[in-house]
Amino acid sequence: MHKEAISSGSARRWGPLFGSGAKVWADTWEGPQGWGGPAYHHVMTGAAIGDGTRVLDCGCGAGRFTRLAADAGADVAGIDAASEMIEIAAARTPTGEFIVGDLEALPWGG
């Protein structure tokens, strides 16, 4: 799922900047040989992410970490200022909830 919840915060400024290179970012930095792989796996292990856990990835970019967490059985959600990044993340993990939004005003209650 993909929806938008942009407020008047910095997401309006940064979203277009990061969105302009979304495909290159997704293919290069968040691809199979991307820079985050070892760190992502370390976080997954350290946080015991797996069946029944819930993960909110703030600044999720193209969703590589949310994909790994979902593959491990977690219920995932991601938020990013760039709609282009969220489109890629939602395509990578159709079972996740992805929102174009502002980290200064998270759209989830409680």
Say if CB 89 and CB 76 are below 8 A apart: no
pLDDT of residue 61: 86
pLDDT of residue 55: 96
pLDDT of residue 76: 98
pLDDT of residue 40: 83
pLDDT of residue 87: 93
> Domains, the chain, ranges and CATH?
2-101 (3.40.50.150)
Q: Which residues of 33-55 are buried (b: 16+ CB within 10 A; e: fewer)?
A: eeeeeeebeeebeeeebeeeeeb
pLDDT of residue 23: 72
Element (H, E) at 99: strand 97-101
Low-confidence stretches of the chain (pLDDT beneath 50): none
pLDDT of residue 51: 96
Both tokens of residue 85? 């990044």
